């Protein structure tokens, strides 16, 4: 067996992980204090004489992207090397436009491409998402309309996701597990095992390799917020607002009530969607 191999973390537990390297899954212990998450590319050293594939993680390779979450000011990585974030949007449960805009801002600030999946079209009238479609197509976001349950339009989505590493985000009940199952052909079980008090939770993050595409399923993503993003970075998640902001008369314009504000002007004449502007203000003024 090769002495040192390069692979990718496909499952991550609290202090061990599963690494896919050269077609084999290695159960790995982690040497020293390397900070690792699902999606990381690593160098491993197989253990000599082990009955099955066991190895030691020696080194992490550079990440192309990383998603963080922060809790009480501690920044914690959740998953890495993601190229795309698919935001699941449904009428029931209702997805707010603020949720969509928050995830667009998180994605763009992490150098990950966001796109939108309108789900559960099987129970909706045609054009039920026309308003949302126009808001997001206008700012250059790719959109899909699917039924994860009836497998409607999944072939378009599949084509788009080829060769990409994607994570689906959405409110509870929006269809993340149904869609992941449909895409991977695997039943996705609920990964949160909690005791009766709901105090102790164990969670596993998984990267599914489905031939052409990679899907990451990480419970840690659920409660990501914008805490680790400085308010002045939020505007990069609103590219159309950023574009106008460079034309404001005063360089320190807060785009709320200032004279000569090109952003407010653009909202007034319909060049910036009102919901996008409102969510920009909410997200950049928080705390
Ligand atoms: N009608 C309909 N129901 C769906 C669709 N996708 C998911 N569901 C249902 O919505 C519920 C929540 O789905 P689930 O995948 O568990 O959502 P998650 O919480 O985001 O993982 C389940 O009862 C699914 O059967 C869809 O395309 N159409
Ligand atoms: Mg689920
Ligand atoms: Zn302004």
- CATH number, domain of 35, equals 2.40.50.140
pLDDT tens-place string over residues 235-261: 999 999 999 999 999 999 999 987 899
Number of domains in the chain: 3
Answer yes or no: do 144 and 172 share one domain: yes
pTM: 0.93
Question: Distance from CA of residue 186 to its chain's centroid?
Answer: 20
Determine the distance separating the centroid of ligand 3 and the alpha carbon of 130, expressed in angstroms: 29
CATH number, domain of 188, equals 3.40.50.300
**Domain-terminating residue out of 173, 193, 223:** 223
Determine the distance separating the centroid of ligand 2 and the alpha carbon of 191, expressed in angstroms: 8
> Average pLDDT for residues 280-284, to the nearest whole number?
95
pLDDT of 196 reads: 42
CA distances from 62 to 8, 52, 81, 180 (A): 12, 28, 9, 27
Answer yes or no: do 23 and 127 share one domain: no
**Domain-terminating residue out of 34, 60, 86:** 60
Answer yes or no: do 241 and 209 share one domain: no
Q: Identify which has the larger pLDDT, 115 or 186.
A: 115
Task: Find the ligand nearest to 241 CA.
Answer: 3
Nearest to 9 by CA among 212, 213, 214, 207: 207
pLDDT tens-place string over residues 14-23: 789 999 999 9
**Domain-terminating residue out of 35, 60, 85:** 60
Atom of ligand 1 nearest to the CA of 148: 27
Question: Distance from CA of residue 56 to its chain's centroid?
Answer: 29
Answer yes or no: do 37 and 112 share one domain: no
> Average pLDDT for residues 24-32, to the nearest whole number?
91
Q: Which domain, by its residues, includes 11?
A: 5-60
Beta carbons of 46 and 10 less than 8 angstroms apart: no
pLDDT tens-place string over residues 168-205: 999 999 999 999 999 998 877 654 444 344 433 446 88
Answer yes or no: do 176 and 115 share one domain: yes
Q: For residue 41, what are the β-bridge partners?
A: 8
Read off the DSSP letter of residue 84.
E
pLDDT of 29 reads: 93
On the question of pLDDT at 228 being above 90, the answer is no
């Amino acid at each position: 067996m090769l002495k040192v191999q390069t692979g990718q973390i496909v499952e991550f537990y609290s202090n061990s992980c599963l690494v896919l390297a050269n077609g084999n899954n290695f159960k790995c212990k982690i040497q020293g204090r390397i900070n690792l998450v699902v999606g990381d590319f690593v160098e491993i050293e197989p253990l000599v004489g082990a009955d099955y594939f066991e190895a030691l993680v020696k080194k992490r390779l550079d990440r192309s992207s990383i998603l963080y979450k922060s809790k009480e000011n501690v920044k914690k990585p959740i998953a890495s090397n993601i190229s795309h974030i698919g935001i699941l949007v449904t009428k029931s449960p209702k997805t707010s436009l603020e949720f969509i805009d928050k995830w667009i801002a998180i994605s763009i600030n992490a150098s990950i491409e966001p796109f939108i999946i309108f789900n559960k079209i099987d129970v909706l009238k045609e054009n039920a998402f026309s308003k949302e479609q126009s808001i997001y197509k206008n700012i250059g976001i790719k959109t899909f309309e699917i039924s994860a349950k009836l497998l409607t339009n999944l072939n378009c989505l599949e084509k788009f996701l080829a060769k990409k590493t994607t994570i689906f985000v959405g409110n509870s009940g929006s269809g993340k597990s149904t869609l992941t199952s449909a895409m991977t052909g695997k039943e996705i079980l609920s990964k949160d095992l909690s005791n009766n008090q709901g105090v102790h939770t164990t969670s596993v993050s998984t990267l599914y390799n489905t031939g052409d595409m990679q899907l990451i399923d990480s419970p840690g993503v659920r409660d990501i917020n914008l805490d680790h993003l400085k308010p002045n970075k939020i505007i990069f998640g609103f590219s159309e607002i950023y574009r106008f902001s460079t034309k404001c008369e005063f360089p320190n314009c807060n785009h709320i009530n200032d004279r000569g504000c090109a952003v407010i002007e653009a909202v007034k004449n319909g060049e910036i969607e009102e919901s996008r502007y409102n969510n920009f203000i909410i997200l950049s003024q928080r705390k």
